[in-house]
Amino acid sequence: MQFPSISKVRLSALAVITGAFIVLAGCASKGEAPVAQLATARASITQAESAGALQSAPVEILAARDKLGRAEAAVREERYAEARRLAEEAEADAELAERKTQAAKSAAAAEELARGNAALEKELERRARP
């Protein structure tokens, strides 16, 4: 029977200890709560709602609200990486909702202008006839 050399045993022990320190360091450092991301997501949702997103982009604004709620729950459970990701997704959803709302308003304004132009053209044609 052959025993491992002392240097192999020391190397193995060192590897085990190093691995344990890495695992413990990962568990101990939860990071910081994503306070800024949560605040930004809340502000984006409020802004989108003020713009009329509940009427123009309800799916997106409801998704943003849901993700913000899940982010806040993750913070309470100290799952900061997940909370940060969800807060960033909530912000993106809220911004999408606001942009869709702005696009819908722009399209409605363009249609109104087109109707106004058509009415003016008819009036000009009517006046141009003898």
Q: How far apart are CA 72 and CA 77, in angstroms?
A: 9
Does residue 96 surpass a pLDDT of 50? yes
Does residue 130 surpass a pLDDT of 70? yes
Instruction: Answer whether 93's CB lies under 8 Å from 48's CB.
Output: no
Instruction: Note if the pTM is more than 0.75.
Output: no
Q: What is the mean pLDDT of residues 30-52?
A: 96
Q: What is the pLDDT of residues 49-71, one digit of tens each?
A: 999 999 999 999 999 999 999 99
Question: What's the whole-number average pLDDT of the chain?
Answer: 85
Q: How far apart are CA 105 and CA 129, in angstroms?
A: 37
pLDDT at 51: 96
